[in-house]
Structure 1
Amino acid sequence: MNQERIFKVLLGPHVSEKATVLADSKNQFVFKVDTTATKLEIKKAVEQLFNVKVKSVSTLNVKGKTKRTMRGLGKRNDWKKAYISLEAGQDIDFASAE
């Protein structure tokens, strides 16, 4: 997988209370990913970018909310997130990522 596709697949970490609990207890990390990305692409991108061994990848399509605005109804964009399980002893440090 080329370097350009890696940065297009992973859009960034998804920071939430649930994601923090998963990182502490089950060694899982949550990323916001491209809607066209496959599980294999996500796995390879995380392994190359953070130098860790990925155990499994679960993906979830999040539907955008419909919101009322001054001009009527609007809709937020749909997006995709990935739950990354790492092998035992592995950890991702976002501060020292290359």
Structure 2
Amino acid sequence: MKDYRDIILRPVITEKSMKLMADDNKVTFKVAPTANKIEVRNAVEKLFNVKVTNVNILNTADKKKRVGRHTGVVRGFKKAVVTLAEGSSINLFGEE
């Protein structure tokens, strides 16, 4: 069995994810490429002591980026949007 800290890599901090967190009680995480919905649900419940109602997973695509005439690739990753039960919350920024 994988360790829960190996499944959840880091939170995704963007304008869209912050709006989802405030309005719909959804938290977005970057997860391991081999993780599935059940593993993500169990990892979030164990690490943060919250109740999860739904997990959606998607793979982001690679993106081409240019700097001058040089081109490169920003690798895609797997992310999970976790819906928390009513009354549950995750404090990502260490505020009380």
CA drift of 1:69 comes to 4.9
Of residues 1, 4, 7 in structure 2, which corresponds to 1:6?
4
Note the aligned Cα RMSD (angstroms): 1.7
Helix, strand or coil: the match of 1:35?
Answer: coil
Find the counterpart in structure 1 of residue 81 from structure 2.
83
For residues 34-83 of structure 1, what are the alpha-carbon distances to aligned partners after superposition, in whole Å with 9 as ceiling and x for unaligned? 11100000000000000000000001100121123578432121201110
For residues 20-39 of structure 1, what are the alpha-carbon distances to aligned partners after superposition, in whole Å with 9 as ceiling and x for unaligned? 11111110001111111000
Q: How many residues align?
A: 94
Higher helix share: 1
Helix, strand or coil: the match of 2:58?
Answer: strand
Ranges in structure 2 where 5+ consecutive residues have no aligned partner: none
Identity %: 39
Mapping of 1:1-98 within 5 angstroms? 5-69=3-67, 72-94=70-92, 95=94
Q: Using the alignment, how far apart are the partners of 2:67 and 2:27 within structure 1?
A: 34
Q: Using the alignment, how far apart are the partners of 2:59 and 2:74 within structure 1?
A: 13
Structure 1 length as normaliser, TM-score? 0.86
